[in-house]
Structure formats: structure tokens, C-alpha cells
């Protein structure tokens, strides 16, 4: 049977039920049967039958997540125990499971690239098409389509090629990845931070800080640059070493790409743009840390910090890095079909500093400072200049609406390092541009008139860019408080239940620190759970703020009227609200009594206590 009878948990929106079968006995029931039941000749569902679209909208995501994460935990245990056979068996079960397939389709249809179609033009926009797609995954005779090649502009004016896989291939990869990633997490280098769950650029920067901050820390840094890492990784190496379906992996790697109607084969490299590619590249580069540890042990102040294909190695002397470390790494990369770029690989003294991931790390009179790199400052200024130029005749609110996300995003990215002076100087540069923008609009008016129209007094600030009588003001970087980022524990594994509590606490703490932010406050209130699908709100999917009483019906922006939801849930709720059923918001009781949760059903019959 297709629907479970889980009506007691409060997570089911409809008495007719949620959407994953309850037990193993139903797991094997024909998927295809479920997808194609009772259709009339014209393709619409027959009377009384549930359409594919409804099936998608009624999926019990909470349950799907549970099934997948339970299997992932078992994979981790098997890998830890060194039981390769068991881990292989579990991976196969997981990649074939209905829950993983549904979540794979959800993942590829809700992330940022969802609007970009592959070579076949399929975009899976409707719930019915998503349901049907999930049914087709993992069927025999699957062959990936070539990637659609597009070019995105780079900072230096050149263009970078990017391959866009078809939706079907993305879904297949996502399902396979859900089984591969737990293994990758177990075997990953401890100080590798790129494209891994729960790890970020800020963790990598903190790791550099830890390795270099003390008086007795290493003085020399090797900044490595791998020549075209993603394009050159050897296929052989990956198919031999990556524990995943070899057949599929080979097909993906050899899929080739289409450019202006011409097909080109791929002989090396991972398909850039593929969901599984970053993990493949990470797995190919894992082992560098062990290599260094085996050779040097804890002597010579050797530390590696890697973010995807970008990495640095610290060392006690320049000679050591040049004559011993560099050849060792070059050899390691050669085995993988890769090499260091001679021009871009440098060895610097910590007093001269170096740039890493958009940050500049340098010792000033013995004190280690991390700041935004010059190139990062220049690029945000350039972006702001472009927006102001493009909006020379636009309404003030439109200009502010375009500038604010850029300003806020940049400031949030650099809020964990020594940035306050730089924030101030960028704010000043923005002020200069907006002032010039305002003057150019009214060449005949006096300066006091222009100032009073566009710049208002707020608190002890005299020059807040906001049009007279309007609410919307320009955001100031200086308003972002500088706070040290707490680095993730190097050996933490998000798939290991032992670390579950640690990650939960870490996330709650970071959101509590941002409680002044609307979304931070809502996250804490909802305990990090999306009230529509009842799964965790994490960084894998984007979020949206939902108005419980719509603004058009008199709802306001107060916290009581808001809920934090996944962007995809939000869209489905508004578009297919009647099917999606009621929205459950649970929030912590203001009395702060532990474990006292109140649940309100919106669209249901009033308040219910749990
Ligand atoms: Zn959701």
C-alpha cells in the first residue's frame, strides 16, 4: 500500500495519510504500479484515484529522512568496523531505497540550479513529474546524457566552462551520493573543509589560524595550486578507489559534453556541475594528510589545511617545504593524474602573509591577523559600482533592494575576522557612490535639498541612505558585529550518531547568536524544524520566511505571524496549499520549561498541546 496510517504523530497532514509505506513488507511493493495506477485515457487520474502530483505532495519527508539517516548510520558503523562487504550491501540498499530516490529528486529540484535544464531541456517543475522521475531512478539500462556546456565569466575576464547534467542524471547522482557520502566522511582528511557537510570556509580559516597563531608556530607556508584539478583527475584512479557503483561512475565520467550541438568526449576529470563531483574530487585528494604525518610525524610544524583543490601546508623552514614537502606532494598528485602549477605555487613567510579562500592571513609584529583579501574587497566594490551604474534612473527602493543583499552577504561572510575597519571603509565608498548617484539625478537642486530627500538621520547617524517618507534603508556593514567563528571539531562526523548531540548543540548555538536576525530567532523558536515537511532546516536547502496570516489578509511582520520554512515547501504550500494540508508550527514555551513544546495547527482546529 502506498500510504501509511501514521495519524498519531502530528506530522501527517491528512487523515488519508502520509506517503511512505510503514514497514519493510511494503517496501518491495511495485513502485511502478504505484506511479501508474488508475489513469484514464487522457492521462488524468480516474475518479477516486490519487494523482501522481498528490502523491508527491503527500510524501512524509520526516519518515524518508529517518529511513535514509538510519541506513547512513549503519554504513558508518560498517566502515568503522572494517566490514567492506556489509558496507557495500548497505550502500546498495540505500541507493535503491524509495526514500533515497525521493529525497534525491527533492534535492535536485529544490537547490539553486533547479532552473537550469540539462541537454534534454527537462526541468521537473510539477509535483507529478517529480514523483514519476523518482520512480524511474535506478532502472536497468540507464545511460546518462552528455552534459550541456555553458561558460560563466571569471574575475579575470576569462570564462570558465561548466557542465550541466540532465535532471535525471543529477537525481541518479544524488541518490548514489547519499550512500557514498557517509563513507567519504569516514575516510576524509581531518583538515579538509571544502564541499563537506557542516564544514565551511570559516572552519578552514580557523584551522589556519590555529596552525599559525602562536609565537612558536610555523613561519613558512606553502600555497599550493593544482593545475586544472577537476579537469585532470584520472578516471582510472577514481573507478578503482571510490566505493560506489562502478558501472554508473564509469558512465558519468565518460558522459562527455555538448557544445553548440557538437558532442565532445571526456577522457579525464570529474564532470563539473555534477552533484557527486566535489565528493569524488575530495576522495581523490584524501590521504595527503596521512602521507605528511607518516613522513614527518609531529615534527617540523607541518600542518595541512585543504578546501577542495585549494590547500596550504605550513612548515618550520623554507628549505623543508621546498625540498621535501613539495616533491612529496607533487608525487602524490602525479599518481592521480594531477600536478602543481609552477607559477602559482608559492612559499611565503608568515610576516609577508598569504591569501587563502578570499582571506589574507599575516603576522603583524608577532600577532596573527586574518582579514578580507584585497581581491575580495576590490570585487565587492566593483559589484556595488556596477549596481549603482545600472540603476542610474531606477527608483531609490529598487537600488537599495539590489544593494542590500550584496552588502549584507559580504559582511556576513567576513564577520568572523578582523574586518571592522574594512567594513567602515567600504561603507564610506558606498556612501560616496550613492551621494554621487543622488546628485546626478537632480542637477538643478541644492545640495541640502538632495541630502534631505535621500539621506535621513537615524539615531546618531546623519547619512542613512533612505528616501524621505520611505521605510526601506540601505544596510551598513558596520552594523554587523565581529564575532570569532567556532571551528568544527576536526574528527566530527555528521553521519555518526555519537556526534549528533555535538552538531545539534553547535547549530543551536550559532543560531542563538543570530537571534536578533529574524531567521535566527525563528530557527531557535522552531527548534530547527520546517513546519511544513517536519524535517530539519539545514544549509542543504534554502529557507524562506512564511507569513501565517498572509499580508494581503492583514497579516503583519511580527515574529508571531512568521514561520521559517524550506523554499521548496513554501512554494508548494502556496501553489498546492489545499493538498499540502495544514501547517504545524511548534515553538518553545516562553516559560523556558525544558521539553515544553506548544504546537499550533494552522488551518486545523485551533491550538493543540503536545
Ligand atoms: Zn520543509
Over the stretch 464-495, which tens digit does the pLDDT of each residue have? 998 888 888 899 999 888 888 999 999 999 99
C-alpha 526 to ligand 1 mean position (Å): 12
Task: Look at strands 257-259 and 147-153 and give their pairing.
Answer: parallel
Q: What pLDDT was estimated at residue 389?
A: 94
Identify the three-state secondary structure at position 487: coil
Question: What residues form DSSP beta bridges with 368?
Answer: 363
Please identify every residue whose CB atom is under 5 Å from ligand 1, which is an ion. Answer: 530, 532-533, 566, 569
Q: Report the distance separating Cα 45 and Cα 36, nearest Å.
A: 9
Greater confidence, 542 or 370? Answer: 370
Distance 51 CA to ligand 1 centre (A): 21
- Using the predicted structure, report yes or no on whether residue 76 has a pLDDT greater than 90: yes
Q: Taking all residues of the chain, what is their mean pLDDT, rounded to a whole number? A: 83
Distance of CA 125 to the CA centre of its chain: 21
Instruction: Please give the radius of gyration of the chain, using alpha carbons only, rounded to the nearest integer.
Output: 27
C-beta neighbour count of 592 within 10 angstroms: 7
Give the model's pLDDT for residue 47. Answer: 52
Choose between 584 and 214: higher pLDDT.
214
200 near 193, Cβ under 8 Å?
A: yes
Rounded distance from Cα 568 to ligand 1 centre (Å):
7
Alpha carbon of 106 to ligand 1 centroid (Å)? 11
| pLDDT in the model for residue 48 | 58
Q: What is the mean pLDDT of residues 394-422?
A: 92
Residue 151 is predicted with a pLDDT of 87
Distance from residue 115's CA to the centre of ligand 1 (Å): 19
Q: What is the mean pLDDT of residues 29-55?
A: 51
CA 327 → CA 162, 305, 330, 493, distances in Å?
A: 31, 18, 5, 31
Model pLDDT, residue 152: 83
Is the pLDDT at 602 greater than 50, yes or no?
Answer: no
- What pLDDT, in 10s, does the model give residues 293-312? 999 888 889 999 999 889 99
User: What's the N-to-C CA distance of the chain in angstroms?
Assistant: 29
High-pLDDT (> 90) share of the chain, %: 46
pLDDT in tens, 163-213: 889 999 999 999 999 999 999 999 999 999 989 999 999 999 999 999 999
Looking at mean pLDDT, say which of 7-21, 413-427, 507-521, 545-559 comes out highest.
Answer: 413-427
* Helices (H), ranges, 315-395: 318-320, 326-334, 374-390
Determine the pLDDT at residue 605. 29
Distance 386 CA to ligand 1 centre (A): 36
Distance 109 CA to ligand 1 centre (A): 13
Q: CA-CA distance, 295 to 111, in Å (whole number)?
A: 42
For residue 584, the model assigns a pLDDT of 55
CB 203 within 8 A of CB 488: yes
The pLDDT confidence band at residue 23, using thresholds 50, 70 and 90, is very low
Question: Does the pLDDT value for residue 607 go beyond 50?
Answer: no
Confidence of residue 542 (pLDDT cuts 50, 70, 90): confident
| pTM value surpassing 0.95 | no
Amino acid at each position: 500500500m502506498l500510504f501509511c496510517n501514521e495519524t498519531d504523530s502530528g506530522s501527517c497532514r491528512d487523515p488519508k495519510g502520509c506517503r511512505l509505506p510503514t514497514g519493510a513488507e511494503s517496501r518491495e511493493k511495485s513502485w511502478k504500479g504505484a506511479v501508474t495506477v488508475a489513469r484514464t485515457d487522457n492521462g488524468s487520474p480516474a475518479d477516486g484515484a490519487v494523482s501522481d502530483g498528490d502523491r508527491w505532495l503527500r510524501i512524509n519527508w520526516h519518515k524518508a529522512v529517518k529511513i535514509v539517516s538510519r541506513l547512513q548510520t549503519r554504513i558508518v558503523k560498517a566502515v568503522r568496523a572494517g566490514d567492506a562487504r556489509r558496507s557495500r550491501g548497505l550502500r546498495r540498499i540505500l541507493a535503491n531505497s524509495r526514500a533515497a530516490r525521493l529525497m534525491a529528486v527533492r534535492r535536485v529540484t529544490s537547490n539553486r540550479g533547479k532552473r537550469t535544464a540539462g541537454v534534454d531541456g527537462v526541468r521537473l517543475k510539477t509535483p507529478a513529474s517529480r514523483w514519476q522521475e523518482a520512480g524511474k531512478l535506478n532502472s536497468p539500462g540507464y545511460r546518462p546524457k552528455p552534459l550541456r556546456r555553458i561558460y560563466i565569466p571569471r574575475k579575470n575576464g576569462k570564462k570558465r566552462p561548466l557542465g550541466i547534467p540532465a535532471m535525471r542524471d543529477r537525481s541518479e547522482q544524488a541518490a548514489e551520493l547519499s550512500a557514498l557520502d557517509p563513507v567519504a566522511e569516514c575516510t576524509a582528511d581531518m583538515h579538509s573543509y571544502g564541499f563537506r557537510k557542516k564544514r565551511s570556509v570559516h572552519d578552514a580559516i580557523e584551522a589556519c589560524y590555529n596552525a599559525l597563531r602562536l609565537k612558536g608556530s610555523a613561519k613558512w607556508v606553502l600555497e599550493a595550486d593544482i593545475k586544472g584539478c577537476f579537469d585532470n583527475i584520472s578516471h582510472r584512479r577514481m573507478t578503482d578507489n571510490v566505493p560506489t557503483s562502478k558501472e554508473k561512475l564509469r558512465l558519468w565520467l565518460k558522459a562527455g559534453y555538448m557544445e553548440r550541438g557538437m558532442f565532445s568526449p571526456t577522457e579525464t576529470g570529474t564532470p563539473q556541475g555534477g552533484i557527486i563531483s566535489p565528493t569524488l574530487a575530495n576522495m581523490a585528494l584524501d590521504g595527503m594528510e596521512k602521507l605528511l604525518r607518516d613522513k614527518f610525524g609531529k615534527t617540523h610544524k607541518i600542518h595541512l589545511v585543504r578546501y577542495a583543490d585549494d590547500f596550504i601546508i605550513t612548515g618550520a623552514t623554507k628549505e623543508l617545504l621546498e625540498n621535501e614537502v613539495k616533491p612529496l606532494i607533487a608525487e602524490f598528485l602525479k599518481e592521480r593524474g594531477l600536478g602543481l602549477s609552477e607559477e602559482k605555487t608559492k612559499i611565503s613567510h608568515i610576516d609577508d602573509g598569504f591569501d587563502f579562500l578570499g582571506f589574507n592571513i599575516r603576522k603583524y609584529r608577532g600577532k596573527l591577523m586574518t582579514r578580507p583579501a584585497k581581491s575580495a574587497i576590490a570585487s565587492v566594490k566593483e559589484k556595488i559600482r556596477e549596481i549603482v551604474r545600472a540603476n542610474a534612473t531606477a527608483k531609490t527602493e529598487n537600488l537599495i533592494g539590489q544593494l542590500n543583499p550584496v552588502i549584507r552577504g559580504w559582511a556576513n561572510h567576513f564577520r568572523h575576522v578582523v574586518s571592522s575597519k574594512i567594513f567602515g571603509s567600504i561603507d564610506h565608498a558606498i556612501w560616496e557612490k550613492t551621494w554621487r548617484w543622488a546628485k546626478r539625478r537632480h542637477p538643478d537642486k541644492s545640495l541640502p535639498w538632495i541630502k534631505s530627500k535621500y539621506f535621513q538621520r537615524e539615531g546618531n547617524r546623519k547619512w542613512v541612505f533612505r528616501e524621505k517618507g520611505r521605510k526601506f534603508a540601505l544596510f551598513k556593514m558596520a552594523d554587523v558585529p565581529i564575532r570569532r567563528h567556532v571551528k568544527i571539531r576536526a574528527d566530527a562526523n555528521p553521519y555518526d550518531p555519537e556526534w549528533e548531540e555535538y552538531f545539534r548543540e553547535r547549530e543551536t548555538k550559532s543560531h542563538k547568536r543570530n537571534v536578533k536576525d529574524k531567521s535566527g530567532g525563528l530557527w531557535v523558536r522552531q527548534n530547527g524544524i520546517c513546519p511544513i515537511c517536519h524535517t530539519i532546516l539545514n544549509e542543504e536547502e534554502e529557507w524562506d520566511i512564511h507569513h501565517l496570516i498572509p499580508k494581503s489578509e492583514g497579516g503583519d511582520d511580527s515574529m508571531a505571524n512568521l514561520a521559517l520554512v524550506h523554499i521548496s515547501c513554501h512554494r508548494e504550500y502556496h501553489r498546492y496549499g489545499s493538498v499540502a494540508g495544514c501547517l504545524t508550527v511548534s515553538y518553545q514555551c516562553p516559560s523556558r520549561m525544558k521539553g515544553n513544546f506548544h504546537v499550533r495547527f494552522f488551518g486545523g482546529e485551533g491550538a493543540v498541546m503536545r
